[in-house]
């Protein structure tokens, strides 16, 4: 028996490599990770993956790129399936990169761990992001252990738990393979991809650690949100490979947006809204059976708060916001079935005024012991008037329309997921005021940053958030810098408002100014005093800073040619004179954009 093992023993990966063997007919020479990942499409996926993290390049190399390289060396040119999705040479690697990119996109719609305090979510944000990537990457790796029979040039059978291939090889699918066995086989290999330092780091987060181990054991039903993310990302990648619709496969669950809306309202009621103030500025009134919030106030402030947290997919039109709140069961419908109620507030002192309201159940906002005292006066409802939902609020400020050229984004993943791969083959970037639905995870806390720093032996390259200031040109630049550093503002993506062109930053106009205005609704009043559109007010203050490069003719605006896989178009915007105004580390130029001449 011992002699049998001795004859079939396979050299370990850390043993001396055999002398180079010229591949015979039908054999494939193994490639390095650098070579395998050098394909332009794979490089674009790697860039996209980096942009979904909150790490410096060096940190990214240790936590993401190193595991991806080890994965690439293991899966080589193997397909992901024999005759289904990604059934081409290298399909396993393509599928792995795609599902990581898709999973990180989906992860942005979740604050994890669910139900934890904002402080705990911030402390664990980067660990959950990395755990999502690892779970997605490794979910199918067991296939190379149980579905394939791999033979080396020397005639020995290769098993992946010995490490990467070092000789030319050939493979075939096992005819007796069990379809679901590869999920259970993942445990044979994940330590070949994730090193001890990464596993030590992840094991400190019990909820994440449990969910990750369940995914790696193929038990998605016990893995909670992490399991859902991997399943949906897998479906999206498969849909893309089979010519389907990955955007539909990746549609965010309805409860994700509902939770963000509720969390935003709870924050505003705790920190900003004033209740039960008759005769003075009040954002709403709380009675025994209902919370009445002034419709326009809640819409403007909720949108601004969510955008400031990196949560997009919130429509720029108030009527659409009301519909979203109603669709998610947060506001109670009026007798006519719409979201808007008309009611009169009367205080005990005789003060009275009519408003348009959103009506909520107090139990949605407060626990029983936290609920404030009810209003001493009365809130009396009136019959709804035709067109109330589109009418101005009765607080004396006219309801706003979307800025010119800004379309409402649906409450889900609005942009096609294929945009992650084809980059700029999407709707016009210049008119994308709220392009991506999904919430960036909170920025890592000091404790989380310290853990990552220890893991990769380098300090973070993040920038502290600017102090809250009055809208101005300087604050606009600070907002851009902080948004780029925190990945709240994605650059060089399909609907990005900031790109790198000609070695510097390119700001898409008017989209980038409109995006700033959405987080600062108070600009409406300032712009009205100057008889300007709100975004024009910001644009003029940016121009006064003198940070942009002018054309030889003296024009401020530069035109960029955008070339995608299936169409071309033009963007208009500002070139910064120096990229250091926004970037600590300048990314490569977007290969799909070039300055137009003439």
pLDDT of residue 137 exceeding 80: yes
Q: Residue 411 has what pLDDT?
A: 31
**Mean model confidence pLDDT for the chain:** 77
The DSSP line for 448-494 is: HHHHHHHHHTS-----PPPPP--SSHHHHHHHHHHHHHTTSS-BSST
Final residue belonging to a domain, choices 341, 358, 381: 381
The pTM of the whole model exceeds 0.85: no
pLDDT of residue 587 exceeding 70: yes
Three-state secondary-structure class, residue 286: strand
* Buried/exposed code over 503-520 (b: 16+ C-beta within 10 A; e: otherwise): ebbbbbbbbbbbbbbbbb
Mean pLDDT of 343-361: 82
Same domain, 100 and 189: yes
- The whole-angstrom separation of Cα 403 and Cα 535 is 8
Taking residue 525's Cβ as centre, other Cβ atoms within 10 Å add up to 10
- For CA atoms 252, 254, 259, 262, give the dihedral sign: positive
pLDDT of residue 432 exceeding 60: no
Q: Which residues contact 122 (CB under 8 A, 6 or more apart)?
A: 442, 443, 444, 445, 448
Q: Please give the residue that has the higher pLDDT: either 321 or 132.
A: 132
Strand partners, 562: 569, 593
* Buried/exposed code over 132-144 (b: 16+ C-beta within 10 A; e: otherwise): bbbbbbbbbbbbb
What is the token pair recorded at 213? 């181990």
What is the token pair recorded at 586? 């300048």
Q: What percent of the chain has pLDDT over 90?
A: 28
Rg (the chain; Cα; Å): 27
Same domain, 50 and 181: yes
Give, for 292, the enclosing helix (H) or strand (E).
strand 291-294
- The number of folded domains in the chain is 3
- The whole-angstrom separation of Cα 469 and Cα 283 is 22
Q: Residue 271 has what pLDDT?
A: 80
Q: What percent of the chain has pLDDT over 70?
A: 73
CA–centroid distance for 508 within its chain: 20
Q: Residue 456 has what pLDDT?
A: 64
Nearest C-alpha neighbor of 587 from the set 464, 453, 496, 478? 496
Same domain, 264 and 245: no
Same domain, 224 and 336: no
Residue 416 lies in a domain: no
Same domain, 242 and 304: no
What is the token pair recorded at 393? 């609020």
- For CA atoms 518, 524, 527, 532, give the dihedral sign: positive
pLDDT of residue 254 exceeding 60: no
Residue 298 lies in a domain: yes
Final residue belonging to a domain, choices 332, 355, 381: 381
Same domain, 529 and 571: yes
Q: Residue 426 has what pLDDT?
A: 33
Confidence band (pLDDT; 50, 70, 90) for 133?
very high
Residue 142 lies in a domain: yes
Asked if 399 contacts 391 with a C-beta cutoff of 8 angstroms, the reply is: yes
Same domain, 522 and 552: yes
Q: Residue 567 has what pLDDT?
A: 59
Strand partners, 358: 293
Residue 205 lies in a domain: yes
Confidence band (pLDDT; 50, 70, 90) for 21?
very low
- The whole-angstrom separation of Cα 513 and Cα 507 is 9
Nearest C-alpha neighbor of 52 from the set 310, 315, 429, 418? 310
Same domain, 135 and 246: yes
Q: What is the pLDDT of residues 445-483, one digit of tens each?
A: 555 666 666 666 543 333 344 445 688 999 999 999 888
- The whole-angstrom separation of Cα 235 and Cα 102 is 10
DSSP 431: G
Asked if 355 contacts 394 with a C-beta cutoff of 8 angstroms, the reply is: yes
Residue 364 lies in a domain: yes
Q: Residue 268 has what pLDDT?
A: 85
Residue 272's Cβ-side half-sphere holds a number of Cα atoms within 13 Å equal to 13
Asked if 425 contacts 494 with a C-beta cutoff of 8 angstroms, the reply is: yes
Asked if 495 contacts 429 with a C-beta cutoff of 8 angstroms, the reply is: yes
Q: What is the pLDDT of residues 155-214, one digit of tens each?
A: 999 999 999 999 999 999 988 888 678 878 888 999 999 999 999 999 999 999 999 999
Final residue belonging to a domain, choices 331, 361, 381: 381
Residue 8 lies in a domain: no
Nearest C-alpha neighbor of 392 from the set 529, 295, 313? 295
Upstream peptide bond of 510 is cis (omega within 30 degrees of 0)? yes
**What is the separation, in whole angstroms, between the first and last Cα of the chain?**
80
Q: Please give the residue that has the higher pLDDT: either 329 or 398.
A: 329
Q: What is the pLDDT of residues 210-240, one digit of tens each?
A: 999 999 988 888 888 999 899 888 888 877 7
Residue 433 lies in a domain: no
What is the token pair recorded at 150? 């791999």
Same domain, 194 and 262: no
3-state secondary structure 297-361: HHHHHHHHHHHHCCECCCCCCHHHHHHHHHHCCCCCCCCCCCCCEEEEEECCCCCEEEEEEEEEC
Mean pLDDT of 416-427: 36
CATH number of the domain bearing residue 571: 2.40.10.200
Pick from 84-98, 264-278, 280-294, 313-327: least confident: 313-327
Number of H helices, E strands in the chain: 23, 14
CATH number of the domain bearing residue 127: 1.10.3210.40
Same domain, 183 and 129: yes
- The whole-angstrom separation of Cα 544 and Cα 560 is 23
Backbone phi, then psi, for 447, in 5-degree steps?
-65, -40
Q: Residue 279 has what pLDDT?
A: 64
Q: Residue 315's domain spans which residues?
A: 254-381
Nearest C-alpha neighbor of 23 from the set 166, 140, 134? 166
pLDDT of residue 52 exceeding 80: yes
Same domain, 192 and 325: no
Same domain, 238 and 373: no
Asked if 255 contacts 326 with a C-beta cutoff of 8 angstroms, the reply is: no
């Amino acid at each position: 028996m011992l002699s049998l093992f001795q004859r079939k023993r396979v050299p370990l990966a850390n043993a001396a490599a055999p002398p180079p063997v010229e591949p015979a007919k039908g054999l494939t020479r193994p490639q390095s990770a650098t070579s395998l990942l050098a394909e332009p499409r794979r490089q674009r996926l790697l860039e996209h993956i980096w942009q979904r993290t909150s790490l410096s390049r060096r940190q990214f190399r240790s936590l993401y790129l190193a595991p991806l390289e080890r994965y690439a060396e293991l899966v080589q040119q193997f397909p992901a399936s024999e005759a289904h999705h990604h059934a081409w040479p290298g399909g396993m690697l393509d599928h792995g990169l795609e599902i990581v990119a898709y999973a990180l996109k989906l992860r942005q719609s979740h604050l994890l761990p669910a139900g934890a305090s904002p402080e705990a979510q911030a402390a664990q944000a980067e660990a959950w992001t990395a755990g999502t990537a690892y779970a997605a990457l490794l979910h199918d790796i067991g296939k190379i252990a149980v579905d394939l029979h791999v033979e080396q040039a020397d005639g020995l059978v290769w098993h992946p738990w010995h490490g990467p291939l070092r000789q030319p090889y050939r493979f075939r699918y096992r005819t007796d393979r069990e379809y679901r066995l590869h999920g259970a086989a993942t445990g044979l290999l994940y330590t070949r991809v994730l090193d001890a330092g990464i596993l030590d780091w992840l094991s400190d987060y019990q909820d994440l650690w449990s969910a990750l181990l369940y995914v790696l054991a193929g038990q998605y039903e016990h893995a909670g949100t992490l399991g859902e993310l991997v399943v949906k990302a897998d479906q999206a990648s498969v849909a893309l490979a089979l010519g389907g619709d990955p955007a539909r496969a990746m549609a965010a669950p309805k409860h994700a947006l509902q939770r963000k809306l509720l969390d935003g309202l709870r924050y505003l009621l705790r920190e900003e809204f004033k209740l039960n103030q008759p005769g003075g500025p009040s954002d709403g009134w709380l009675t025994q059976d209902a919370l009445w919030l002034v419709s326009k106030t809640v819409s403007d402030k909720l949108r601004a708060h969510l955008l400031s947290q990196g949560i997009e997919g919130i429509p720029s039109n108030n009527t659409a916001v009301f519909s979203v709140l109603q669709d998610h069961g947060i506001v109670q419908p009026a007798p006519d079935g719409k979201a808007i109620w008309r009611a009169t507030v009367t205080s005990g002192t005789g003060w009275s005024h009519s408003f348009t309201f959103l009506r909520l159940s107090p139990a949605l906002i407060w626990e029983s012991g936290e609920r404030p005292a009810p209003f001493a006066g009365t809130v009396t409802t009136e019959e709804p008037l035709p067109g109330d939902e589109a009418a101005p609020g009765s607080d004396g400020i006219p309801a706003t329309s979307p800025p010119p050229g800004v379309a409402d984004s649906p409450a889900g993943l609005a942009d096609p997921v294929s945009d992650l791969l084809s980059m700029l083959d999407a709707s016009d970037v210049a008119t994308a005021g709220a392009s991506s639905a999904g919430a960036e995870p909170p920025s890592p806390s000091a404790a989380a940053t310290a853990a990552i720093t220890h893991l990769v032996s380098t300090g973070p390259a993040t920038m502290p958030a600017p102090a809250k200031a009055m809208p101005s040109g300087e604050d606009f630049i600070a907002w851009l810098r902080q948004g780029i550093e925190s990945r709240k503002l994605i650059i060089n993506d399909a609907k990005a408002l900031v790109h790198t062109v000609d070695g510097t930053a390119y700001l898409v106009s008017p989209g980038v100014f409109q995006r700033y205005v959405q987080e600062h609704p108070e600009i409406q009043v300032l712009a009205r005093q100057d008889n300007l559109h709100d975004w024009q007010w910001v644009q003029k203050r940016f121009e006064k800073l003198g940070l942009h490069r002018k054309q030889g003719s003296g024009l401020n605006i530069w035109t960029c040619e955008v070339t995608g896989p299936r169409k071309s178009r033009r963007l208009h915007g500002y070139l910064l004179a120096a990229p250091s105004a926004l970037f600590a580390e300048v990314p490569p130029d977007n290969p799909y954009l070039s300055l137009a001449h003439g």
